[in-house]
Amino acid sequence: MPVARASSDSSQAAAEPVRRAPGRARRGSSQPAGRTDGRSPAPVLVRVTRSGIEESVHRGHVVETDADGRMLHVLGDPDRLVTLRSTVKPFGLLSLIEAGGVEAFDVSTAELAMMASSHSGEDLHVRTLQALYRRARISQAMLGCGAEGMPLDALTAARLARDGEKASPVRHMCSGQHTVFLLLCRLRGWDPEGYWRDEHPSQVAYREAVARAFGTTPERLSLAIDGCGIATYAFPLREVARAYAMLAEPTSLPATDPRRSLAPGLALIRDAMLAHPELVGGTRDRLDTSLMKAVPGRIVAKAGMEALRGMAILRGPRTGSFDGPSGLVVKIEDGDGYDRGTWAASVEALRQAGLLDGSALRQLARYHRPVETDPHGRIAAESIVDFQLAPVGELIG
C-alpha cells in the first residue's frame, strides 16, 4: 500500500507545464485513467453484494492532511493525479472576492454559496442566482455552461418535462461558477463573449486565484477541459487535501506562508457554504448538503465529477487524538456512475477520521450503506465499506 514520502514538492511536480497543441487544452498527465505510474492497483474501498454474492468492487484512495501538507491518514496513493472538476469552486471564487465583487454587487452569503456550488437546479437555486443577475444587470442568456442533462434534481426535471418546459442553463449545476466569470466581466468592463475560453481575462483571473490557493503559479498549472466547457486543473490528491485543510481554517497558516493573504476571502466562502448547505448541493439526495447538516459548523463538503470529493474539517473534538483542522479527500477509481461507492466511502472515511458517530451516522445511514431495492421494496443489493484507515505515523513508524 503506497504511503506518503517524507517530503515532496508534489504541487510543483503536478503543475509542470505541458506543451499545447493548437485548439487543445493542456493535459495534466499522459497516464491512462486508473494507472498510477506502475504502482499497485488502488485498494478496494467498497464492495457491492447481492444476496451475499460480491457483484462489484469500487477501488480508490483516501487522503487526509493538515494545511501544511502533513499527512494524517492515507489509504492508496496520495500522489494520484486528479482533475479538480467542481472541487475547485471554493478556491476559484476568490477571484471575484479579491476583485471587490462582494462590495460592488452587494453579494449575500447565499449567493456566495451558490457560486461555490454544484447545485441541483431546483427553484430556490434559480431564484437565488436570478436575484443576483438583476442586481448586477447581467443576463442569464450569457451563460455558456449549457443545459444538457439538467437539472440534477429528479423531481424538478419531472415537473419541467410535464409542463413541456426545457431546462435553461441557469439550472445547470455549474451555473453558479459561471456566474463568477460574468460578474468579473461586469466589474472589469470585459467583453463577456467567449468568457469560457482559456485566454479570456475572466479565466485568467480565476486561474490566478486557483494557483495561489494551491501554492503554485498560473504558468505551472496543468489544464484540461471540464464538462461545462471551462478549464479544470490537475493536482495530486495530497495537494487537494491540503487546500481543503486551508479552507477549514485559513488563519491556521503562518504569516510567512504566501497563501495567508487568501485567509479573509476563504473564511467568507467557508462560512457561506456552512450557512447554506442546501445551496451548495440541493434539498434531496445530495451528500454534500447532508454531511454539512449532519454535523453543523464542522465540515464543508464539495464533490466533483468522476467520484472526487474534498472535505474541509473544522477544528473541534473528534474521537481520537487529533482535533485540528484538516482536509480529507476521497477518490473512487472507476468514476462511480451510481454514486454508491463515493457516498459509502466518504461517510466511512469521516467516521474513521473521528468526525461522525451516533446521531450523525444515523442521519447519513442511507449514504453510508446504500441499498438497491426491487419493485416490492425488498433489498436486492448493498454497498458495504471495506477499508481501514490508520494514522500515517503507525504506517511508517
- pLDDT at residue 2 in the model: 39
Q: Cβ distance 91 to 213 under 8 Å?
A: yes
- pLDDT at residue 3 in the model: 39
Which residue, among 290, 281, 343, has the nearest Cα to 153 in the 3D structure? 281
Alpha-carbon separation of residue 313 from 160, 243, 256, 269, 326 (angstroms): 37, 11, 23, 14, 5
**For each of the chain's 397 residues, which pLDDT tens digit applies?**
333 333 333 333 333 333 333 333 344 433 434 444 566 899 999 999 999 999 999 999 999 999 999 999 999 999 999 999 999 999 999 999 999 999 999 999 999 999 999 999 999 999 999 999 999 999 999 999 999 999 999 999 999 999 999 999 999 999 999 999 999 999 999 999 999 999 999 999 999 999 999 999 999 999 999 999 999 999 999 999 999 999 999 998 899 999 999 999 999 999 999 999 999 999 999 999 999 999 999 999 999 999 999 999 999 999 887 899 999 999 999 999 999 999 999 999 999 999 999 999 999 999 999 999 999 999 999 999 999 998 886 555 4
Q: Cβ distance 3 to 64 under 8 Å?
A: no
The cell 487568501 sits on which residue?
Answer: 262
pTM, full prediction: 0.90
Q: Long-range contacts: 3-6, Cβ < 8 Å, 24+? A: 3/71, 3/74, 3/78, 3/392, 3/395, 3/396, 4/71, 4/74, 4/78, 4/238, 4/392, 4/396
- pLDDT at residue 80 in the model: 98
Grid coordinates given for 256: 510567512
Residue 151: cis peptide before it, omega within 30 degrees of 0: yes
Q: Count of alpha carbons within 13 Å of 108, Cβ hemisphere only?
A: 13
Rounded distance, CA 299 to CA 292, Å?
6
Beta-bridge partners for 74: 63
* Residue 34, phi-psi category: left (phi > 0), alpha (psi -120 to 50), beta (remainder): left
Residue 26's CB is within 10 A of a number of other CB atoms, namely: 18
- pLDDT at residue 34 in the model: 43
Rounded distance, CA 382 to CA 55, Å?
10
